[in-house]
Every structure is written in structure tokens, then in C-alpha cells.
Amino acid sequence: MQLLTGKKIMTKENRKILFLSALLMASVFAFSGCGNAKSKPLATVDGKVITVGDFEKRVSKMPAYYKALASQRKKDFLDDMINEQLIYKEALKRGINREPEVKELLDEAKRKILIAKLMEVEVSKSAVTEDKIKEFYQVHKDDFVTPLKLRASHIMVDTEAEANEVLKKLKEGGDFAQLAKQYSKDPSKDRGGDIGYFIKGQLMPELEESCFKLQLGQTNEIIKTKLGYHIIKLTDRIEPRTVELSEVRDAIEKELKDRAQQRMLDDLVKNLRSKARVKINEKLVGSEPNK
């Protein structure tokens, strides 16, 4: 009843993951170009050279987990690059790139890559400076205040007579944790009645109202709820505090970047639509789809 609302051999599976990852990201890597790639060859596939630069560039653009895996198992990853090249060449040989469905997918991928690159260029114009981060923190300082937190221990029994018996033992100097383990029907009994930290709105209303009136170390009188009869002891109290800028700096920076990106996108679209001839067939837009 809850009250608080060494080097290992590359496995086939790993090789498959790396290989699929390489296939999925091939178009993105190709977009970046290879102007500064090191020219020393690692392998040649039907006359096409895979250089040290090609390998390092591919690894550098992978997610951290796969980057570490590829760096540790270079030969396996190079084999995947060779396999990719062979399969790509075979796909071209069979004319798969000319199939309507594939052409449509390639066009869609190209469009998304170009849009993403344009947005990246535009967003880079809106730099988030330290001054902007500090200004945001000062303006929204009230939003960075932690709420009052309380911690309590709890004993719940089925009858008022049991509650009175427990309360009497407490007043005679009985140990709350031991009595909770002996009498309480709540799962918290295994922790000596400890229900952990909570803030307003997380505890049952009847218990919360009483708990927030207690002094540290104080035990309340018996409280009746639909679950039974309760006795609560306040064991800790953490006062509200203003969170330091250093603790929320990264979150603020992300928020400002997200806002800048949204403003950029809104302004860009507004500007482009103002120059374009856009006509919408309102009747068709508002009609039901053909069945």
C-alpha cells in the first residue's frame, strides 16, 4: 500500500550492429567531404581506396559506444567498411538506385539532410553567451528554488485501540522503528516506518496536513484515514534554497538554444513564405478524405 503518490572476439551480433550502423550513416558521412583526410591507404576494394582518413572520419562521427568499439576492433570495423563498399557496388550494378521507391527514399533523405544543414547554419548565428545565461538565471531566479522537503516515519494499524497502544508505548520511550516493525501494516515497516522524503502534494492529504505542522523529532496524535489509523514522526526537514547557477547552467544553455532555434525557424519560414507564391485549396483541406 503506497503512501507516496580485456579484448574479445567480435561476435556476429556486434559485427551486424556495426555493419548496419555504417550503412545507415553512409550518406551523412559522405556529406562531410574528405578534404583533410589522411591519404595513406588501409585497403583497396576493386580499385577504390579506403584511407586512414576515411577510417578515422567514419569512427569520429559515430555514437560514443560504437566509436569506442570500433577503435578497439579496427580490423573488424575495416572489414565492415569493405563489406559496405562491396554491397553498395552490387546495389548499383543491379540498378537498385533507379527503382522508383529507392529514388523516392534518396530524395527524401537528401531533402532532410539539406534542411538540417540549413538549420545548423542559421542556429549557429544565435550564439548563447555566458552573459545571456546569467541574465536568464537572474530573471528566473524564483524558478530555481527547491521546495521544502520533509522526511517522516510512519506506523499504520487497523484499529484505534492498536493505535492507542502504540502511541502509549511511544510516549513511554519506545523506539519508533522497532514499534513500526512490530505493529505497522504498511510496507514501510521493513524500513522501520521510514517513508523517505516528500514535498507538498505527494502524501495523503490528511497525513500531509498534520506532518507539515510537526517540529523535527515530534510525533503526531492518531490520524484516521480510509486506510486505517496512523502515527507519524518527523525525522528530517530540508528548507527551501535557491539553486546555484553552476547547478543549472547546462539546462539554461539548452533552453536558450532551443528557443533560439525555434525563433530562427519561425523567422526563416515567415521570410520564405512572404517571398513565395503559396496557394491552399481550403475546400479540400477542410473536406473529409475520399473513402
Quick one: 70 exposed, middle or buried, by C-beta within 10 A (0-12, 13-18, 19+)?
buried
CA 124 and chain centroid, separation: 23
The angle subtended at Cα 251 by Cα 247 and Cα 257, nearest 5°, is 145
Confidence at residue 40, expressed as pLDDT on a 0 to 100 scale: 84
Confidence at residue 291, expressed as pLDDT on a 0 to 100 scale: 47
Confidence at residue 157, expressed as pLDDT on a 0 to 100 scale: 94
Question: What Rg, from alpha-carbon coordinates, does the chain have?
Answer: 32
Domains and CATH numbers, the chain: 12-101 (no CATH), 144-238 (3.10.50.40)
Cα separation, 291 vs 279, whole angstroms: 25
User: Is 55 in contact with 40 (CB distance < 8 Å)?
Assistant: no
Query: What global pTM score does this model have?
Result: 0.50
Confidence at residue 21, expressed as pLDDT on a 0 to 100 scale: 42
C-alpha cell at 127: 550564439
Confidence at residue 166, expressed as pLDDT on a 0 to 100 scale: 94
Sign of dihedral through CA atoms 53, 55, 58, 62? Answer: negative
Model confidence band, residue 187 (pLDDT cutoffs 50, 70, 90): very high
Cα separation, 49 vs 81, whole angstroms: 11
Quick one: 95 exposed, middle or buried, by C-beta within 10 A (0-12, 13-18, 19+)?
exposed
User: Is 154 in contact with 204 (CB distance < 8 Å)?
Assistant: no
Model confidence band, residue 265 (pLDDT cutoffs 50, 70, 90): confident
Question: What digits encode the pLDDT tens for the residues 222-262?
Answer: 999 999 999 999 999 999 999 999 999 999 999 998 888 88
Question: What digits encode the pLDDT tens for the residues 21-72?
Answer: 444 444 333 334 444 546 788 888 888 888 888 888 888 878 887 878 877 8
Confidence at residue 289, expressed as pLDDT on a 0 to 100 scale: 55
Task: Give the CA distances from residue 55 to residues 62, 79, 82, in Å, rounded to whole numbers and listed in that order.
Answer: 11, 11, 11
Confidence at residue 33, expressed as pLDDT on a 0 to 100 scale: 43
Q: Which residue has the higher pLDDT, 19 or 196?
A: 196
Question: What digits encode the pLDDT tens for the residues 103-145?
Answer: 999 999 999 999 888 888 877 777 788 999 999 999 999 999 9
- Percentage of the chain beyond pLDDT 70 is 85
DSSP letter (8 states) at residue 219: B
C-alpha cell at 227: 486506510
Hey, which of 3-7, 264-268, 282-286 has the most confident mean pLDDT? 264-268
C-alpha cell at 99: 527503382
Confidence at residue 290, expressed as pLDDT on a 0 to 100 scale: 54
Cα separation, 34 vs 53, whole angstroms: 8
